[in-house]
Amino acid sequence: MRKNHNSLLKPTTAKRVLFFIIADAIFSLLSLLLAYTLRYSFSIPPIAWHDFWKIYLVITFIKIVFLYLFKQYHFTWRYYGLSEARKLLLALIGAYSVAIFLLFPLHEKVLLFPRSALFIDFFLSLVFLAAVRIAKRVWIESTKHKSIKTCAIYGISPNTKNLIDAFFSGELDYKPLAIIDNNRSGNFLSSIPILSEEKFWQHLTPDALIIATKLEPKKLQDLEKKAKEHGIDEIKIATLTKEPLRNLEIEDLLARKPRDLDSKAIGEFIKNKRVLITGAGGSIGSELVQQCFAYGAKEVIGVEISEYNLYVISEKHPSLIPYLCDVTQYNEIASIIQKYKPDIILHAAAYKHVPLAELNPQATVKNNILGTKNCIDAAIAHEVPHFVLISTDKAVNPTNIMGATKRVCELYAQSVPSHNTTICAVRFGNVLGSSGSVIPKFKAQIEQGGPITVTHPEITRYFMLTSEACQLVLQAATIAKGKEIFILDMGEPVKIVDLAKKMMEIYNKEVPIKFIGLRPGEKLYEEILLEGAEEPTRYESIYIAKPDPIDFAKLKEKIEKLLQTQDPQKIITLLQELVPEFHHTPHR
């Protein structure tokens, strides 16, 4: 109820226009009454009232039409100045000229009214309507001036016009000083000057910088740095959502825009296909659901073991076919595949948190290895055309149980006799903002006043936006011929301590950083591929890891033995037999 009440009180363009029209109608009535009173020396004869309301309605209607045409309902109170007052004068001149043209020929023949009262009414209307606008501005400036921030808008796009409309309607409490655009400097947009970057930084320092156009992360980083150097701490990103502004986030600065995203190829791969996604409620799985719907999938079947996660993704995508399913139970996943006969399976279900996997090795082996094996075996048995395994950079030279289990999954996907199923794996690093990742953790620690906990001063990680990673996963699948491990170009690794410092800058809050030591199984530096062990594809952002010769029969035998093992140390020993490069580091 409170939310509905607040939404009613929230200023919008429509509400402001309606308020102006009602106010102008009331003050037009007062001005006409006063005009009659002055014309008849404060003693209006009864006959003068005969057609008063007809005259009032005609004049007021014409007046409101002209006021609307002259944009008298399309500005915000606090910006009312000489330019708007001039438009008001022109609107009233036009309105009363039309009124005189229409009414004077009807004088005494059809309508009874004092003609001189119209001229008096013109001057009174000008005074009244201008006074109410100026009085409102004076009142706002005397009571709210401290809360109105100045801003500059960076870039010209459809968003720029939306922003200006929101400023002028009062929906956003900012006063724009300038628009920054190097190509159109020297011009004006809705009376706001357009400046070059150089001229802006030389002459203006607003309270906030609002970015209204898409920028590459590098440009965004430079802009953020420049703004901080000039004392501008508030940086906003304009959106086309219900909330027109959002804060600049660390994800904006770290995002990598794939240079060669092939939306056409992805669309051809997904459109009108039936897609089954395991782990559909997780960070990667839910984004894959989103992408598949966006690219026109015929049906999307979401398989998830968490009831809550499945509920959330189902609410977001009502067309999703949701299934609560444990992929470690072959019959469960096989029956779903048999029923829907998907064209593509995207296998994202996995335990991914390194410290939890270290504490629960048997559960991790079962979920990651047995779950993957069941999904692949069922896909092959039911002749699913395409199977894509989501893997991780932690599978390269693993030092923890989670990474080792994912490497076993890769080996199984590479070596299993796939018959009519094209199987590939796609390996990438950390995705920004995913559940349990460092960014939401750091954000919470900053909001709580710190300290920010970093495991080691030199630790680095690769980062990519979830949406971009999932698009490249689908793009890699379009070129799969079978048995590949695709590697996504994650760009340059980011030093985690630098990430923490940058987040403090963005949120304008400095808190202490505490180094707590590497966690069990954690690396200082993640590797996305083995040195020199990759081949290019036709896409710059995607590579292929050179395959290792694998005896599938022996691999399968060792996996079966591993799945029967309960002792944690024996599990590690068997994982090392399966993955010779696995050097377990439980503590540092």
CATH number of residue 312's parent domain: 3.40.50.720
Q: Is the domain of 158 the same as that of 134?
A: no
Q: Which of 213, 248, 283 is the last residue of a domain?
A: 248
pLDDT of residue 504: 86
CB 464 within 8 A of CB 390: no
Helices (H) and strands (E) counted in the chain, each on its own, are 22, 22
One digit per residue, the tens of pLDDT, for the chain of length 588 reads 444 444 555 556 677 778 778 888 999 999 999 999 998 888 888 888 888 898 899 999 999 999 888 877 766 555 566 667 788 889 899 999 998 998 888 877 778 888 888 899 999 988 888 887 777 666 655 555 456 788 999 988 877 777 777 777 667 788 888 999 998 888 888 778 899 999 999 989 899 999 988 888 888 888 988 998 888 988 988 876 656 788 777 777 776 666 778 899 999 999 999 999 999 999 899 999 999 999 999 999 999 999 999 999 999 999 999 999 999 999 999 999 999 999 999 999 999 988 899 999 999 999 999 999 999 999 999 999 999 999 988 898 899 999 999 999 999 999 999 999 999 999 887 777 666 678 788 888 888 888 999 888 888 877 778 888 899 899 999 999 999 999 887 777 788 888 888 888 887 788 899 998 887 777 777 765 545 557 888 888 888 987 778 899 999 999 999 999 999 999 999 999 999 999 998 754
Listed in sequence order, the residues at least 6 apart from 519 whose beta carbon sits closer than 8 Å to its beta carbon are: 354, 355, 358, 455
Does 257 qualify as catalytic in the annotation?
no
503 inside domain: no
DSSP letter for each residue of 263-323: HHHHHHHHTT-EEEEETTTSHHHHHHHHHHHHTT-SEEEEEES-HHHHHHHHHH-TT-EEE
Give CA–CA dist 295/271, Å, rounded: 6
Q: Is the domain of 139 the same as that of 161?
A: no
Give CA–CA dist 518/242, Å, rounded: 42
DSSP letter for each residue of 68-84: HHTTTTSS-GGG--HHH
236 inside domain: yes
Other residues' Cβ atoms within 10 Å of the Cβ of residue 145 = 10
Other residues' Cβ atoms within 10 Å of the Cβ of residue 512 = 10
Which pair of tokens denotes residue 344?
């593509």
Q: Is the domain of 425 the same as that of 327?
A: yes
Give CA–CA dist 581/531, Å, rounded: 13
79 inside domain: yes
Which pair of tokens denotes residue 217?
């992360």
Out of 394, 406, 502, 523, pick the active-site residue: 394
Domain that holds residue 305: 263-431+463-490+525-578
CB 320 within 8 A of CB 300: yes
Q: Which of 248, 278, 311 is the last residue of a domain?
A: 248
Q: Is the domain of 267 the same as that of 219?
A: no
Least Cα distance to 424 among 465, 466, 371, 473 occurs for: 473
Q: Is the domain of 60 the same as that of 103?
A: yes
499 inside domain: no
402 inside domain: yes
**For the chain, what is the domain count?**
3
285 inside domain: yes
501 inside domain: no
pLDDT of residue 460: 83
Which pair of tokens denotes residue 538?
């036709």
Q: Is the domain of 376 the same as that of 355?
A: yes
Q: Which of 144, 165, 187 is the last residue of a domain?
A: 144
Q: Is the domain of 117 the same as that of 159?
A: no
Listed in sequence order, the residues at least 6 apart from 120 whose beta carbon sits closer than 8 Å to its beta carbon are: 34, 35, 38, 39
Positions of E strands within 305-383:
321-324, 344-347
242 inside domain: yes
Q: Is the domain of 64 the same as that of 123?
A: yes
pLDDT of residue 1: 44
Least Cα distance to 524 among 410, 432, 394, 402 occurs for: 394
Q: Is the domain of 411 the same as that of 532?
A: yes
Rg (CA), the chain: 34
Amino acid residing at 585: T
State how far the alpha carbon of 431 is from the alpha carbons of 262, 445, 475, 529, in Å.
Answer: 20, 19, 17, 17
Q: Is the domain of 425 the same as that of 573?
A: yes
Q: Is the domain of 371 the same as that of 239?
A: no
Q: Is the domain of 43 the same as that of 164?
A: no
pLDDT of residue 527: 67
Alpha carbon 497 to its chain's center:
25
Give CA–CA dist 358/572, Å, rounded: 10
Give CA–CA dist 468/431, Å, rounded: 9
